[in-house]
Amino acid sequence: MVFIKMNGGGVLRTQYLFFVLLFIAGVHCCLGQESIIPRPNNIALQEGSFAITPKTVIVTGRKTAHTAAFLNDYLKTRYGFALKTVSKTIGSNAVFLTAADQKGRAKEGYRLRVGRNGIYIEGNDEAGCFYGMQSLIQLLPTDKQAALKVPYIKVTDAPRFSYRGAMLDAARHFFSVAYTKRFIDYLALHKINTFHWHLTDDQGWRIEIKQYPRLTAIGSQRSGSMVGHLNTKHPEENRYNTVPYGGYYTQDEVKDIVQYAAARYITVIPEIEMPGHSQAALAAYPYLGCTGGPYQVSKTWGVHTEVYCAGNDTTFTFLQKVLDEVLELFPSQYIHIGGDECPKIRWKSCSRCQQRMRVLGLNDEHRLQVYFMNRIGQYLKNRGRKIIAWDDILEGNDHTGRRTTTVMSWRGDKGGIEGARLKYPVIMTPDDKCYLDYSQTKQEDSLVIGGYLPLDMVYRYEPLPQVLTPEEGRFILGSQANVWTEYISNPAKLEYMVFPRLSALSEVLWSAKKDRDFGDFKKRLADQLQRYRLWGINYFNQ
């Protein structure tokens, strides 16, 4: 554009300027800039660089095998060659990987040193070594053809929060096994350590349960999907297509994904929603609802009236058997049991629910939900697991019981603040700061759910609310990006919504608060976007 508008002299001047800029960029590069995201705690750049060539070896052992494998896979797919792995070497043309497991050192922390004698990554534990390798990856050129020169550098680093999550809603739209793995890779590249997998909802049940085959035979399929936005005020205006939509993960696929994530130090937490957001399960087994149905796997987004019957013991038998299978597949300490947005309309007019309330002396339906969640929570606790639930779990609760639930605060910070004050462990996922299904631009062409959450707002998000005392603040385990997929039907759109906002959140979660600086982040982001190109991510360009 600039060239077309200018006269001849203008073109010359522009060319001159171009070379000056190129020169500055060259100097900039040779002085050894780095652009690691999330920002490490300490970095010291030195003059000189180490070249990784096909002759370089990786010195690795049992504890660092996953790290070596990821690095080699990365080098192979991005630069076309992998390195030989050895258990020791006397040479210095090597990447030395160690995982110390020393008590007293910061969990997931690492030291990375690049110098004349090789590249050394010392993890405080296995995961730490993996994260050191992630930082090393970000020191490599983003040009596939360039020599793999790594600047001499010393990095010491450890994360600020122990829970660094991302949630993907696979229920509203289904993402293939292959793509889900890719998504997990992207999380690893951002030093995220938890993948919260939203597997069931009104619009689809996505996990095979052998004892209840109709959950997938019926519950994973819907007869169409919404076209355009959900209109809650005028439901008669909602429009739908008639394209059958469905998909689910077999148990073998689930195991494969859990293992794939584990090799990247990512824990997969499954979410099995209850008592609301359960219409797909009711469509499969109508006896689980208060009215007995018939029900359909929903085509409409939003909150649904039909929920599991809380008065029927069969509901609990069903959920317990489902969870038995889920526990076999997911070794995670936590199981997410939902608990959000459960209308009480059906319970109010259900004789069995009302009977249960009378017997237990519960004076309203919120209490019945507390009973519901506690009963399942106890079942899981007896099997050595802990539950996570959305902040709705705090409603109607007298908080006399033990704090076995971790609260996921989604309706702003409110639930998290209340939860921490009541001494519940808390994960912060406030919708206005962490919902990556919200629009990142004021002029969004594509369909989005609403809400405005630009990059800098994510970056400036502080998971530790100021109003909490240090004592209360200790209950905040970390934070998580949530990606609900009502209006995200394919990987390209998903990536457009998630990146680069996940870069911003990764820094919120990992880096020291005092080092957070949006201007500095933006500078490093330019390189990160180049890396996104290298990784094939369809990111949103500001």
Q: Give the residue numbers annotated as catalytic, written as ranges.
A: 201, 277, 341
Cβ at position 430, least distance to ligand TNX in Å = 10
Peptide bond before 38: cis, by omega within 30 degrees of 0? Answer: yes
Cβ at position 314, least distance to ligand TNX in Å = 25
Q: According to CB under 6 A, which one of 108, 126, 437, 507 is a site residue for ligand TNX?
A: 437
Q: How far is CA 285 from CA 289, 296, 297, 366, in A?
A: 8, 10, 11, 24
Q: Does 449 help bind ligand TNX (rule: CB under 6 A)?
A: yes
Classify 465 as helix, strand or coil.
coil
d(CA 365, CA 368): 5
Tokens of 384: 């050595």
Cβ at position 412, least distance to ligand TNX in Å = 11
Closer to ligand TNX by Cβ: residue 230 or 422: 230
User: Is 479:508 a contact under the CB 8 Å cutoff?
Assistant: yes
Query: Which residues within the stretch 479-538 sit at the binding site for ligand TNX (CB under 6 A)?
Result: 484, 486
Query: Which residues within the stretch 253-312 sit at the binding site for ligand TNX (CB under 6 A)?
Result: none
Cβ at position 379, least distance to ligand TNX in Å = 22
Q: According to CB under 6 A, which one of 34, 253, 325, 340 is a site residue for ligand TNX?
A: 340
d(CA 483, CA 503): 14
The length of the chain is 542
Name residues whose C-beta falls within 8 Å of residue 90's C-beta, 6 or more positions apart in sequence.
Answer: none
Closer to ligand TNX by Cβ: residue 161 or 390: 390
339 φ/ψ sector (left φ>0, alpha ψ -120 to 50, else beta):
left
The residue whose two tokens read 């020291």 is 512
Closer to ligand TNX by Cβ: residue 330 or 435: 435
User: Is 97:68 a contact under the CB 8 Å cutoff?
Assistant: yes
Q: Does 330 help bind ligand TNX (rule: CB under 6 A)?
A: no
Cβ at position 171, least distance to ligand TNX in Å = 9
CA triple 165-167-170, angle to 5 deg: 155
- Identity of the residue numbered 459: Y
Q: According to CB under 6 A, which one of 435, 499, 535, 539 is a site residue for ligand TNX?
A: 435
Classify 492 as helix, strand or coil.
helix
Q: According to CB under 6 A, which one of 256, 341, 418, 527 is a site residue for ligand TNX?
A: 341
Q: Does 167 help bind ligand TNX (rule: CB under 6 A)?
A: no
Q: How far is CA 418 from CA 37, 65, 238, 370, 412, in A?
A: 32, 42, 37, 17, 11
CA triple 178-182-185, angle to 5 deg: 145
Closer to ligand TNX by Cβ: residue 248 or 410: 410
Cβ at position 301, least distance to ligand TNX in Å = 7
Cβ at position 390, least distance to ligand TNX in Å = 4
Cβ at position 322, least distance to ligand TNX in Å = 19
Tokens of 378: 């106890």
> How far is C-alpha 412 from the chain's CA centre?
18
Closer to ligand TNX by Cβ: residue 285 or 390: 390
**How many residues touch ligand TNX (CB under 6 A)?**
9
Tokens of 276: 């609301």
Q: According to CB under 6 A, which one of 410, 459, 461, 510 is a site residue for ligand TNX?
A: 410
Closer to ligand TNX by Cβ: residue 249 or 435: 435
Closer to ligand TNX by Cβ: residue 175 or 410: 410
Closer to ligand TNX by Cβ: residue 340 or 418: 340
- Identity of the residue numbered 116: R
HEC string of 283-332? Answer: HHCHHHECCCCCCCCCCCCCCCCCCECCCCHHHHHHHHHHHHHHHHHCCC
Q: Does 432 help bind ligand TNX (rule: CB under 6 A)?
A: no
> How far is C-alpha 360 from the chain's CA centre?
39
Residues that bind ligand TNX (CB under 6 A): 340-341, 390, 410, 435, 437, 449, 484, 486
